[in-house]
Amino acid sequence: MAQITFKSNSAAETLKTGRSIGKVILGGTILTLEGDLGSGKTLFVKGLAQGLKISQEITSPTFALIQIYHGGLELYHVDLYRLNEKEILELGLEDCWRNRVPTQPQNWALAIEWGNKAKAIFPKEKSIAILQLNFKILSKYSRNIKIEGPLECLKKIQTSLQKS
């Protein structure tokens, strides 16, 4: 697993980062988002949705648990902050990658806030990319964002970030 780290100096930059990544991820990508409350996870997903050509307003799924948005890909936005292991299993996240036709491209992306809580159920197949994002608060507006994942995905992300 490879990694890249970069600094966001504002909410606008975090939004732009999400948008840049949304433009290049493929269907069948799981993004786990870790970081303290207020570190920019939901803001990043708003940008991700823009990059996926989703026009709906993105809201935090803290109480709804899962929000589904339709655009270039179906985006499942999940928040596991308040859930325990049993409740996570009952959400049925596995349906995203289990109920698919193997010969067709996958048409979904899954962005999971506090995603490390669901690692045990993540698929092992290589056709599904898992990107782990960690948001670290540096100051009121600055964040370090570290992304770990398959090298080929990170190369596309790095190129997209440099172009934006």
pLDDT in tens, 107-164: 899 999 999 999 888 888 878 899 999 999 999 999 999 999 999 999 999 999 888 8
User: What average pLDDT does this structure show over 84-94?
Assistant: 86
pTM of the model: 0.92
- Torsion of the alpha carbons at 155, 48, 65 and 117, rounded to the nearest 10: 20
Residues 24-47, mean pLDDT to the nearest whole number: 95
Strand ranges (DSSP E) for the chain?
2-8, 29-35, 66-70, 74-79, 108-113, 129-137, 143-149
- Give the whole-angstrom CA distance, residue 128 versus residue 109: 10
Please report the pLDDT score of residue 9 as a whole number. Answer: 96
Q: Please, what are the domains in the chain?
A: 10-96+105-138 (3.40.50.300)
